[in-house]
Structure 1
Amino acid sequence: MPSYTVTVSTGSQWFAGTDDYIYITLVGSEGCSERTLLDKALYDDFERGAVDSYDVRVGENLGEILLVKIEKKKYWMQDDWYCSYITVKTPSGDYLEFPCFRWLVDDKEVVLRDGRAHLPQDDKTSLVKQHRQKELDSRRKTYRWKEWQPGFPMSIDADRHKDLPRDVQFDSEKGVDFVLNYSKAIENLFVNQFMHMFQSSWSDFGDFEKIFVRIKNTISEYVMQHWKEDFMFGYQFLNGCNPVVIEKCLKLPDKFPVTHEMVSVSLERELTLEQEIEAGNIYIVDYEVLDGIRSNCTDPCTLQYLAPTICLLYKNTQNKILPIAIQLGQTPGKDQPIFLPTDDKYDWLLAKIWVRSSDFQYHQTITHLLRTHLISEVFGVAMYRQLPAVHPVYKLLIPHVRFTMAINTKAREQLICECGIFDKVIKARGVDNKEELPTYFYRDDGYRVWEATKSFVSDVVHIYYTSDETVQEDGEIQAFIKDVCSFGMQDFDHCEFPKFLKSREKLIEYLTVIVFTASAQHAAVNFGQYDWCSWIPNAPSTMRRPPPNQKGLADVNLIIESLPDRGRSSWHLGAVWALSQYQEGELYLGMYPDEHFIEKPVKAAMETFRKQLAEISSSIKKRNNGKKLPYYNMSPDQIPNSVAV
């Protein structure tokens, strides 16, 4: 009687093992095995991290093994099980790999294809076609779109973390509980002593140092020492945690009527302001998106203010970026003065603080939340809805959507509840010339990571898509593209996502955007938050006084009264510390321990990718050596694969 050896690997994460009954059925081209209970009798089966082997006897040859059906049935109470993979050794000695990497919950079954990736047009038999369609039908019922807030991208239909499909929940919910992490942060940073004075102001700038106790961080300490300097203010637009808003100024907007006479003392090349603009030495940041947002009342007595600031920046002869003019609103006039470095030092300092406050709000809501977290979730939901596990693009993307729906649902539940294309974006802002901005490390490191990622994606795409026509004929990938735009992005008029892709090159670019956004871009705007935002005056999360409408009003007292009070400063510090921490067991760019791909050409492409990333990390380390302000947020060895924090 022919016998197949089945080897089952249980995951190593918490609670992966099970005491439930596990049954297997082998489905071949010539027949099926009987439903077989996997039980070694004298031993505990399916323990966490275990690899167990069993004999499955059949009455006749099954032919080519096409599918493996795994069923879990309750023993005495429901006990979820995480299956990593199954291998089957045939009577002829051949080994077949069946990746799983998913949870079996309740009395459910999973039907697996072998590990080779297949485009839909590659499947010829009705059996595998039906399996493919059945998997997608089930997924679309499980992964449903939901509008979180009007005007935002769609999210997964889950109000709480525990409502998510088990496969996209955190392995351990405790580790990413925002409330718990904030509490830990405040305790670790020794700021509890200020919480009882929640609404009281600090006395002076030196008081903010009191919550710097236990901070051992080179960049944050440097920021604390130099935050008032124009150089430090300008440098952050290049290499701070929001390095995506600075643009080359090609023409001064009418709403920002800066004249040469206003700024001539700041210009170093004996050129007029207009000539400096023509020479490419003038840059601008404009927070117009904040215009019209009303003041928020956090309690019956305290108003919080925003300002849609505009700031003009100058690249001096030492290639430093310095502020030369600031307007605190979008409508010029007598009550909207243009602040200058030649003004009283407190007027100028308060104006810069208002820009930093605008930048903090823009960074958190748009750069960080919208353009990494929410966009990555759209890609993830669409992937689960439209791409079966056997699709090569599913295998490519699955590591880069890991825990994204979980972290976003956690954020909607606890943090933000009521109680893209890299090179094109850089060029569009006019900051792509290395000679013009030689210290723009975010751009330079980002280009290298982008190119390495694009090269890897290109290798994978060319393995499975032999021509542009194969892209056009792939109904699943086209459905994925359409789902992202038409449903995930709600087909907004300003949505630039395509609805159809006609070539391999466009597919490569599209997939590179997804991988880069979820990994490098998120790392660049997330993990530097503690560095740049822990010194509260440099990145105030709230302003308690309205922006000044005339010069000569500012002094130390007004600035202190405008900045966050003691309690909010403490919570702010705890938040940026918690958000900047890497997760336990973090998987970094290029690390793919779950082997969804089994083909040798893809594994070779992965190895090449890892070597390229290692070279980039090494060169960044050498460049940073000895620098007072090292930039490492785009170093691949510090870029997690996905948006998971």
Structure 2
Amino acid sequence: MSSLVEKGKLVKGRVVLIRKRLVEALTSANDLISTGIKLIDNSVEYDITKSVSFKLISRTKSHNPKNVAGKVGKDSYLENKASVLRSLGGTEEEFDIYFEWDDNDMGIPGAFYVTNRMNDEFLLVSVTLEYPTNEHDQNNIHFVCNSWVYNHKCYKTDRIFFANIPYLPGKGTPVALQRYREEELKTLRGNGSGKLEKWDRIYEYEVYNDLGFLDSDGPQEHPVLGGHKYPYPRRTRTGGKLIRNYKNGEEYEEPAKVIYIPRDEHFSHEKAKEFLELGKKSFERVQPLLLSLYLKTTTNEFNGFEEVQRLYEGGLNLPISITGNGTPSVLQFPLPNVIQESNFAWMTDEEFAREMIAGTNPVVIRLLKKEDLISPCKLLCNCFPASTIIKEKLEINMNGVKVDEAMAYERLFILDYSDAFMSYLTKINELPSAKAYATRTFLFLKDDGTLKPLAIELSKPHKCGHRYLGTESIVVLPADRGVESTIWQLAKAHVIVNDTNYHELVSHWLNTHAVIEPFVIATHRNLSVLHPIYKLLFPHFRDTININTLARKSLINAGGIIEETFLPGPYSMEMSSAVYKNWVFTDQALPNDLIKRGMAVKDDSAPHGLSLAIKDYPYAVDGLEIWDAIKLWVQKYVSLYYSEDDAIEQDTELQTWWKEVKEKGHPDLEAAQWPKLQTSEELVETLSTIIWIGSALHAAVNFGQYPYGGYMLNRPTQSRRWIPTRGTGEYDEMRKNPQEAFLKTITPKYQTVIDLSVLELLSTHSSDEVYLGQRDSLNWTADQNAKDLLKTFTEELKQIESEISKRNHNKELKNRTGPVKLPYTVLLPTSKPGITFRGIPNSVSI
């Protein structure tokens, strides 16, 4: 063989693939509990070397002037290596292959067809040709595939793969490859109709009509999200059967056990196995507790803080067996980080405030404005005295500083959930166990850089007889003794319930998972794998469609886990739709977000060009370093391919991509809010924002969920009692037993166990995670300049990681660790597998 290869008559290649080993995809909590993990080995015997063929396609020579498509070579087949054994557990196999290919006649290979004549699919990982050239890799041509290939009869067009050389469309692409490039994009777009099969590779848009509805719904409950009335980002069309809800006249996708996801969007073998194992372990805990409640062998109320603590230390004894062997089981969770040093530091005012800038949801707090001190109360009757936040109440705890002075020096801040919750409180408070307020928390920046809570305003619609008239509010001030201190702790709990729900529904789900999916769809539909911007963005979309599909089926669906355990219940997703109305893409860039919230102002002399209102704001300080590194990497990368702004405007794929993002992916928003994408500056900012959302922003609001929220007392998801008023039985109970009053106000036992099971799952890194600055293949591009830029970006992230660690050891920066002594590590770029409270995956992958 070698002599023929040397003469240029044969081209040797190496094919890496993984043969089918099914991981049964469980996509609901019930499946995880009842079925667990089932690995089904392929029992069909076949000779893969005779059943899979490859044909090279030239990028330099065409058949004739009329048919400019590159010449196609003859079929070639795999040659088995004696040293290669049948794969077990999804491991890679490598095969030799020899292509009959005359350079003089066929030119240089740039793509290939693959034909699978087996019944079962296989994962084609990569193909490498030993083909010396004077460009890129001088010894090889690389094809990074990572795609499942089904029997050829499943496809209307042959499966094609391109070499990893980036080309802009039009004149930038070799003429011989242009038609192949366009046809592949056409295949990925589909036709917008019909049933989608498991082997399809189609990316299309759809409204959120797959969350379902309940038989008990009224005509206004669980509406389809997407459209003028309930605006929402679009999701990936799954092609499921539609059924009509006659109460509201809308069509919904019928629930199905198997939901279409483009095949290459499925989790890897490793991740699927780990996800299912952890999910099975987590949700096994729910079943026995549910059964024990049904049998009335336990109460759904915690009997004091000590019983909560036993969830993590020693475990709670259950009256039945999980394993079925007759031995009573123990319900136990990992110890959350927030209580690893102290069981009660979470209760301090300093920690309550610190978590607003360094906790699970550090993206809402903003600078106080003068208009925030104007009372929103507008009572139309005199049966309830109006309450308002006035300067004198704030000044009680401001150590002699006056409000006007503090505002002039930007030392007053607010955590404001009045708009997000007030319009839904009437509905929420009519739910069986919900008793909620819309909260506003006022804070003062002390000389030592920490925040001090000044007052909490708790508001709700005022009910007069059978009508709701205006708003009634109470103001609670800090207290550290007596019944007033219990009321203050309850007020803080109500704030955190607002914050926890807003975090999960908006900061986390809406602002990362939901808004990024249309970008994933648009990229696959409009940017060829040959496009350099596709190569830049693709890693930041890994597993997003899959995890979002799982969430829509089990977490945010009608009657699902979120509705069962979070405050807004059936109005949860509708609330997120109301917030989405005001979502602006450009505001998602970290500097713009900080400026909009008054947490920073432009300052060319300051680090990152911004002066922070709170110098020790861990999320902002660490985040700005990550943001600047991302933007610099993107800026240098873009400059490799667009030397002039005209090139951006003339890039047909790029412009079609951006038009589709706006008009089909986010069509319910004002068109004027989007950048025009005509200049290099606009392109860099846009791409940086997309990468930021999918990586660092998601990491900041996701991987602290169990470390902080795993201790439900610290971040409850429900409020079940209003603040007791003097002269009532609840007030007397609160005075006699503060812990019982607190526990009866927040999330009860069964809902806590469900929430902890979910938070544990969502806070865990998989072993095959790919982090910011990394690629899952060294040959992700043939452009060595781009590889060198990525290496520089990776080194910059390592330096940032070192600087973050140094700040966490700086005792003068009190907000870095706080009373709970939990360093702010969530924006450290790398991580090991598991719950680590650190690591920035490239994408919204969990």
Q: TM-score, normalised by structure 2?
A: 0.70
Which ranges in structure 2 are unaligned for 5 or more consecutive residues? Answer: 23-41, 64-70, 191-201, 209-224, 241-255, 314-332, 377-387, 463-469, 560-587, 601-609, 812-816, 831-838
Q: 1:619 matched to which residue of 2?
A: 803
Q: 1:230 aligns with which of 349, 354, 374?
A: 349
The partner residue of 1:461 within 611, 628, 638 is 638
Structure 1 residue 424 corresponds to structure 2 residue 469: no
Inter-partner Cα distance in structure 2 for 1:335 and 1:177? 49
3-state DSSP of counterpart to 2:824: coil
CA shift in 2, pair 1:233/1:97, >3 Å: same
Asked whether the 8 Å contact 1:153–1:489 carries over to 2, the reply is yes
Residue-pair matches, total: 640
Corresponding position: 1:596 with 2:780: yes
Matched to 1:643, the amino acid is V
Is residue 698–residue 844 contact of structure 2 (8 Å, CA) maintained in 1? yes
Counterparts of 2:173 and 2:279 in 1: how far apart (Å)?
54
Task: State yes or no: 1:143 paired with 2:203.
Answer: yes
| Stretch moving more, 589-598 or 617-626 | 617-626
Separation of aligned partners in 1, 2:641 and 2:267: 31
Give me the whole-angstrom Cα distance separating, in 2, the residues matched to 1:546 and 1:494: 42
Is the alpha carbon distance of 1:183 and 1:58 closer, same or farther for their aligned partners in structure 2, counting shifts above 3 Å? closer
Deviation of 1:42 (Å): 7.4
Which residue does the alignment assign to 2:55?
Answer: 25
Matches within 5 A, 1:251-270: 251-253=370-372, 254-255=374-375, 257-268=388-399, 270=400
Structure 1 letter corresponding to 2:794: R
Whether the 8 Å CA contact 2:700–2:827 is kept in 1: the answer is: yes
Q: What letter matches 1:250 in structure 2? A: K
SS in 1 for 2:362: coil
* Paired residue type of 2:823: P
The residue aligned with 1:70 is 113
Distance 2:103 2:702 in 1: 58
Matched, 1:451 2:457: no
1:490: how far off? 1.5
Q: How much has 1:78 moved relative to structure 2?
A: 2.2
Structure 1 portions without partners, runs of 5+: none
Q: 1:81 matched to which residue of 2?
A: 123
1:163 aligned partner, one-letter code:
Y
Given candidates 263, 266, 277, the residue that maps to 1:166 is 263
Deviation at 1:37, TM superposition (A): 3.2
Is residue 496 of structure 1 aligned with residue 673 of structure 2? yes
**Partner SS for 2:713:** helix
Identity of aligned residues (%): 24
Q: Is the 8 A contact 1:120 1:475 kept in 2?
A: yes
Pick from 295, 301, 308 the counterpart of residue 201 of structure 1.
301
Q: What is the alpha-carbon distance in structure 2 between the residues aligned to residue 519 and residue 374 of structure 1?
A: 14
Deviations 1:6-48 (A, max 9, x none): 4233246974999652222222205535431313267579964
In 1, distance between residues paired with 2:175 and 2:473?
71
| Counterparts of residues 214-613 of structure 1 (less than 5 Å) | 215-222=334-341, 224-253=343-372, 254-255=374-375, 257-268=388-399, 270-287=400-417, 288-293=419-424, 302-329=432-459, 335-342=472-479, 344-419=484-559, 420-432=588-600, 436-493=613-670, 496-498=673-675, 500-546=676-722, 554=731, 555=734, 556=738, 557-594=740-777, 595-613=779-797
1:621, distance to aligned residue in structure 2 (A): 2.0
The answer to whether structure 1 residue 96 and structure 2 residue 122 are counterparts is no
Counterpart of 1:631, as a letter, is Y
Asked whether the 8 Å contact 1:7–1:53 carries over to 2, the reply is yes
Segment drifting more, 371-380 vs 117-126: 117-126
Distance of aligned partners of 1:42 and 1:457 in 2 relative to their CA distance in 1, 3 Å threshold: closer
Change beyond 3 A, Cα 1:417–1:106:
farther
Further displaced range: 303-312 or 12-21: 12-21
Q: Is the 8 A contact 2:437 2:458 kept in 1?
A: yes
Contact 2:598 2:613 in 1 (8 A): no
Question: Over the residues paired in the alignment, what is the CA RMSD in angstroms?
Answer: 3.2
Aligned residues of 1:339 and 1:351 also touching (Cα < 8 A) = yes
Quick check: 2:304–2:743 contact (8 Å CA) kept in 1?
yes
Greater CA deviation, 394-403 or 210-219?
A: 210-219
Alpha-carbon distance change, 301 to 331 in structure 1, aligned in 2, over 3 angstroms: closer
Higher mean alpha-carbon deviation, 241-250 vs 343-352, is at 343-352
Q: 1:590 to 1:356 in 2, by over 3 A?
A: same
Q: Check conservation: 2:112, 2:162, Cα contact below 8 A.
A: no
Aligned amino acid, residue 278 of structure 1 = A
Distance 1:455 1:13 in 2: 40
Deviations along 1:267-308, one digit per CA (max 9) or x if unpaired, are: 02x33222212221100111121222257799x994234432
Which protein, 1 or 2, shows the higher relative CO under an 8 Å CA cutoff with sep ≥ 6?
1
Counterpart amino acid of residue 711 in structure 2: W
Q: Distance in 2 between matches of 1:620 and 1:91?
A: 44
1:328 is paired with a residue whose SS is: strand
Which amino acid in 1 is paired with 2:261? L
Alpha-carbon offset, residue 169 of structure 1 = 1.0
Give the counterpart letter for 2:806 in structure 1: K
Q: Secondary structure at the match of 1:62?
A: helix
Matched with 1:10 is 16
Equivalent residues of 1:24, 1:68 under 8 A apart: no
Change (3 A) 1:173 1:11: same
How far apart in 1 are the matches of 2:292 and 2:57?
A: 66
